[in-house]
Amino acid sequence: MSRVGKKPIPVPSGVKLKIGKELHVEGPKGKLTVPIPAGIRLEENNGVLEVQRDGDKFAALHGLTRALAASAVQGVSTGFVRELDIVGIGYRADIKGRVAIFTLGYSHPIEVLLPEGIELKIEKQVALSLSGYDKQMLGQVAANIRALRPPDPYKNKGIRYKGEVLRKKVGKTGAGGK
């Protein structure tokens, strides 16, 4: 039996569930839908959502469906946050409406349009805080922003996730083999 799939999902007050061919989750932050694959059943009892499967061949889908449903319930109730740091002299970020503008040492500023449901807060031009209710979309936007200037292994300059551990490489030594 899947250990992840067996775990019940507590449904906070203010979150409405509608179970059909898909799970529709609606809360104060927004609405999400989770696909329910064949062989997987969802049941809501006393404010707890439980995921069950029809046989052992659905074990992988059991855990996956439960994880997606739990992320949807948490997203529409409390939301998710991803934090990024910009490291490097002259590297910074600004926001104008739904467009984030990054100055990352290239010859031009880079503009990123933020999708609906994703909010960006910038502190001191180098600390970014992305928040949203869709975990997958939030992670993808954070990865796209990090990919604009990934951390350099020699100087550790670039955009990194907060708390990301980087290994700094040793550069070349000057004296050649004469």
Which tens digit of pLDDT belongs to each residue from 13-41?
A: 888 888 888 889 988 888 999 899 888 88
Note whether 157 and 84 are same-domain residues. yes
Q: What is the pLDDT of residue 176?
A: 60
The reply to whether 169 falls in a domain is no
Q: What is the pLDDT of residue 2?
A: 57
Q: Tell me the pLDDT band of 60, cut-offs 50, 70 and 90.
A: confident
Q: What is the pLDDT of residue 8?
A: 86
With pLDDT > 90 as the criterion, what percentage of the chain qualifies? 33
174 pLDDT more than 80: no
Note whether 70 and 93 are same-domain residues. no
| Residue found by looking up tokens 């503008």 in the block | 101
Which tokens belong to 170?
């040793």
The reply to whether 173 falls in a domain is no
Note whether 64 and 134 are same-domain residues. no
* Closest to 81 (Cα-Cα) out of 118, 38, 39: 118
Q: What is the pLDDT of residue 168?
A: 86
Q: Tell me the pLDDT band of 49, cut-offs 50, 70 and 90.
A: confident
Note whether 55 and 118 are same-domain residues. no
The reply to whether 133 falls in a domain is yes
The chain-wide mean pLDDT, for the chain, equals 88
The reply to whether 166 falls in a domain is no
**What's the CATH number where 17 sits?**
3.90.930.12
The reply to whether 64 falls in a domain is yes
Torsion angle defined by CA atoms of residues 71, 76, 78 and 81, in that order, rounded to the nearest 10 degrees: 60
Q: Tell me the pLDDT band of 175, cut-offs 50, 70 and 90.
A: low
Q: What is the pLDDT of residue 83?
A: 93
Domain around 157: 80-161
Q: What is the pLDDT of residue 178?
A: 54
State the first-to-last Cα distance of the chain, in angstroms, to the nearest integer: 66
Note whether 122 and 150 are same-domain residues. yes
Last residue of a domain, one of 42, 77, 112: 77
Buried b (16+ CB within 10 A) or exposed e, 125-164: eeebebbbbbbebbeebbeebbebbebeeeeebbbbeeee
Q: Average pLDDT in the 142-169 region? A: 88
Q: How many angstroms from the chain centroid is the CA of residue 85?
A: 15
Classify the phi-psi angles of 97: left when phi > 0, otherwise alpha if psi is within -120 to 50, otherwise beta. left
The reply to whether 174 falls in a domain is no
177 pLDDT more than 60: no
Note whether 147 and 110 are same-domain residues. yes
Q: Tell me the pLDDT band of 111, cut-offs 50, 70 and 90.
A: very high
Q: How many angstroms from the chain centroid is the CA of residue 47?
A: 26
Number of domains in the chain: 2
